[in-house]
Amino acid sequence: MEIAALVCGICSLAGCWIPSMGWIGSICGVVAIVLGAISIKKDLPKKKLGKIGMILGIIGLALGIIMTIVAVACVAALGNALQQGLGL
C-alpha cells in the first residue's frame, strides 16, 4: 500500500503539468493521499514511503487544481479575444 501511495503521488506530480489535463493529477493525488493515510494509520513497515506518497499527493492535488483553473482561464481569455477580434 505504501508503494502504491508513492506511485500515485509521483503520477499526480507528472499528470498535473499536462495542459488541460490537470484533473488527472488531482485524481491521482487524492488516491495517493488516501493510500498514504491508510499506510500510516495501519503502522505498516514502510511507513516513510506512505508519508512521501501522501506529501507528493498533496502537492500534486494542489498543482492539479491550479493548472485546471489556469487552463480554464486561458480558454476563456482566448474565447473573449476571438470574439473581439472577429467582431462578434
Q: Are 23 and 50 in contact (CB under 8 A)?
A: no
Using only C-alpha atoms, the chain has a radius of gyration, in whole angstroms, of: 17
Q: Which amino acid is at 12?
A: S
Instruction: Report pTM.
Output: 0.82
Per-residue pLDDT of the chain (88 residues; tens, 9 = 90+): 889 999 999 999 888 887 666 778 888 899 999 999 998 888 778 788 989 999 999 998 898 888 888 888 999 999 999 888 876 6
DSSP track, 74-85: HHHHHHHHHHHH
